[in-house]
Structure 1
Amino acid sequence: MDKVLVVENLHTHFFTENGVVEAVEDVSFHLEKGEMLGLIGESGCGKTTVIQSILRLLEYPGKVMKGKAVMNGIDLLHAPMDQIEKLRWKTISVIPQSAMNALNPVMTVGDQIVEAILLHEEVTKDEAIKRTEYLLEIVGIPKQRRKSYPHEFSGGMKQRVAIAMALACQPQIVISDESTTGLDVLTQAQVIAVIKDLQKKMDLSIILISHDLPMVTAICERVAIMYAGKLVEWATTQQLLNNPQHPYSQGLLAATPDINNLDKVCKSIPGTVPMLIDPPKGCRFQTRCPSVMDKCKQQVPVMRKVQEGHYVSCFLGG
C-alpha cells in the first residue's frame, strides 16, 4: 500500500527551568493510504506531543530536535511555515480531544465549518453552506441544526460537529486525538462508529490516539505502542493480540477486561510513567517491568523485527 505519512527518528524536547524533558525519543512509524493506525499508551507517554510535532503546533518551551515527517514528498518538520498552514485542514486535519473547547460558543456550528471551508478553499459561501450541511448529515446531525449554537448540543453531538469540521476541506489524513475521552461509553461507541464509517466512505487515512486499548484493537488495522516517549512495539492488531512481545504491551492487555472471558482477573501495571526530565537509564520501562534484567538498566534496546510487520524494542522475546 502507499504510505501517506512517514515519520522517522522524531525527537522532541521541552526546555524547562528544571531541565530538559525528553518527551519524544527516536519515534518512527508510517501511515498507509486508507488505513486506521492506533497510537496507544498511558497519559504522559508522548502521543499528543508526536502529533503536535508533526503539525508544527508545539509552543515554547517545546522544540523538535531532529527527525523527518514526510507527507506527499514534503517534510513537515522543515517546510516553510506558510506551506504548513496551507496543508492543515486541506491535507491533514485533527479531531480535537475536547469539542467543548474547540468550538466557538458565540458562533453557530454551521458558521464555524463554513468559515474553515472559505478560509482554505476557493468556493462561494453557498457552496460552503451546502458542503457544511452534507458534512453534518454524514456524521448524523440534521442539516437544519447548522444554525444551532454549541451549547444546544450534547457532548456526543459536539464531538460529531468536531468530526465534520475536521472533514471540511476533504483531507487525506485525519488525526483523532483522544476524541472520545470524557464521553460516556455508549456515546464513545457511537462516535467511533461514525469515524470508522467515514474512513470507509471517504477513503481516509486515520491516526487514532487513545489509551483505550480494547477500542483501538477493535477498529484499527495496526497498532503502535508508546511508553515514556518511545515507541516500544509496532504490529498489526492480530499480531499484538495473539503474540505481544513487549512487557508493557503484555501488561496493557492483562489489564484489559474480556467480555468473552468473565473469569479473567485484570492485573494492573505497578508504578507510573517516569518523569522524562530524568528518565531511567537503559530501557525506560525497566522500573516497572516484571522481567527486568541487568542489561535493561544499562543498555537502550533498539527496535528489532520479530516477523513481517511486527517490531519490538526489548531484549526479551522471539
Structure 2
Amino acid sequence: MGTLLSVENLSTYFKTEKGISKAVENVSFHVNEGEMLGLIGESGCGKTTVAQSILRLIEYPGKVVSGSVYLAGREILKASEAEMRKLRWKEISVIPQSAMNALNPIYTIGDQIIEAILLHEDVTKKEALKRTKELLEMVGIDGDRWKSYPHEFSGGMKQRVAIAMALACKPKLIISDESTTGLDVLTQAQIIALLKDLQKKMNLSVILISHDLPMVTAICDRIAIMYAGKIVEWASTEQLLKEANHPYSKALLNATPDLNNLDHEVTSIPGMVPSLVNPPLGCRFQSRCSLALERCSQESPKLMEIKPRHFSACFLGGGNNG
C-alpha cells in the first residue's frame, strides 16, 4: 500500500488586524492508498485550513508560506492554477460541511453532477447522465430523482447528493470536511456508514475532518490530532485508543463518553485554544495541561516517532527527552 498524499512542513498564515495568525504551522502527515485518515481537534485548531491549503483554495489575506504537498509523487503546491482546476474533482474532491450551501437551488441535482462530469471527463451528455444516475443509486437515491431540485430533498439526502458529486469524476482522494455537521444523530450515522462503505468498495483514500472523536475512532484507520495549528499526535486508531501519549489526546479521550465502559468518568478540558496571532512560546497546550513542565513554557516539542508509526509532540513522550 503506497502513499497517495504526503504533506510536509505545511504552514499557512493569515493577515489580521491584530497581526499574523499562524493558523497552520509545520504540519506533516501522509495518507496511504485506500486509507481513511481522521484529522481531529477542537474548532480553531486549523483542520479546515489544512484541507484548503492542500486544495490550493487559500485566498487573501491567507497564504501558504512554506511546505510541500505531494499527490501521487507530484508537488501540487507548485502546479499552475490551470493544472489545479484539472486536479480538483478529477484527482481530489471535497464533501463540504454544508450541502445546503454547496448545491445551487436553481438547478436540478442531476444537472449539477452532469456539469462536473462534463468539465473533467471526455464523455457525451448522455454518458454523463447515465453516470449521474449510477452515482445517485450508489448513495441510496433513486436514479430517476436526478430531475429533482435541492429543496425537494431532506438534509440527509442533500448530503448523499454531495457525496455523489464528490465521486463524479472518480477521484483518488476525498476530503470530507465536517460533512455531517448539522444533521441529526441517526442521519449522521447513516452518512458516515455510507462513506465508509464506498471507501472500501472503491479503494478510496479519505481525509475525514471532524471534532467528533467517537465517530472518527469508529471508522478511521489512522488519526492525526491537531491543536492550535499543529499536529500533536499521529498514530493508528488502535494505538491511539490504547496508548495515547500527548496530554491533549488523552484529554479528548477523557472528555468523550464511553458506552462500553459505564465507569468511565467524563471530564472537560479547562481553558480554550490560544490565539494563533500570539501563540505561546513553548508548547501551545501548556496552559491547559496538568502535566506541564517548566521546559514546556520555553521550548516547543517536535513531533517525533515514539514507537513504530506512532508520533507525538510532547516532552513526556520519550522522543523529545534528548
Which category of TM-score, normalised to the shorter sequence, fits these structures? Answer: over 0.9
1:121 matched residue in structure 2 = 121
Give the TM-score of the pair, scaled to structure 2: 0.98
1:300 partner amino acid: S
1:242 matched residue in structure 2 = 242
Do the aligned partners of 2:4 and 2:73 also contact (CA within 8 Å) in 1? no
Question: Superposition RMSD on alpha carbons, in Å?
Answer: 0.7
SS in 1 for 2:286: coil
1:18 matched residue in structure 2 = 18
**1:39 Cα deviation after fit:** 0.3
What are the within-5 Å matches in structure 2 for residues 31-50 of structure 1?
31-50=31-50
**1:59 Cα deviation after fit:** 1.1
Residues 110-149 of structure 1: per-residue CA shift (max 9 Å, x gap):
1100010011111000000000000000100000111111
Residues 173-217 of structure 1: per-residue CA shift (max 9 Å, x gap):
000000011111100000001100101111100000000001000
Does 1:101 pair with 2:101? Answer: yes
Residues 31-77 of structure 1: per-residue CA shift (max 9 Å, x gap):
00000000000000000000101111011100000000001222111
Q: Distance in 1 between matches of 2:265 and 2:282?
A: 31
2:196 matched residue in structure 1 = 196
Q: Distance in 2 between matches of 1:194 and 1:60?
A: 36
2:315 matched residue in structure 1 = 315
Does 1:142 pair with 2:161? Answer: no
Do the aligned partners of 2:303 and 2:311 also contact (CA within 8 Å) in 1? yes
SS in 1 for 2:89: coil
2:110 matched residue in structure 1 = 110
1:178 matched residue in structure 2 = 178
**1:230 Cα deviation after fit:** 0.3
Do the aligned partners of 2:48 and 2:177 also contact (CA within 8 Å) in 1? yes
**1:263 Cα deviation after fit:** 2.7
Residues 51-109 of structure 1: per-residue CA shift (max 9 Å, x gap):
10111101110000000000122211111111111000001000000000000001111
Q: Distance in 2 between matches of 1:48 and 1:161?
A: 21
Q: Distance in 1 between matches of 2:34 and 2:28?
A: 19
Q: Distance in 1 between matches of 2:299 and 2:230?
A: 14
Q: Distance in 2 between matches of 1:263 and 1:157?
A: 37
2:152 matched residue in structure 1 = 152
SS in 2 for 1:89: helix
2:305 matched residue in structure 1 = 305
Can you give the 5+ residue segments of structure 2 that lack an aligned partner in the other structure?
Answer: none
**1:303 Cα deviation after fit:** 1.1
Aligned length: 318
Q: Distance in 2 between matches of 1:230 and 1:317?
A: 16
SS in 2 for 1:131: helix
Can you give the 5+ residue segments of structure 1 that lack an aligned partner in the other structure?
Answer: none
1:270 matched residue in structure 2 = 270
Residues 250-299 of structure 1: per-residue CA shift (max 9 Å, x gap):
00000110111223221010011111011111000001111111000000
1:214 partner amino acid: P
Structure 1 residue runs of 4 or more that deviate by more than 3 Å after TM superposition: none
1:65 matched residue in structure 2 = 65
1:272 partner amino acid: M
Q: Distance in 1 between matches of 2:18 and 2:306?
A: 39
SS in 1 for 2:231: strand
1:253 partner amino acid: L
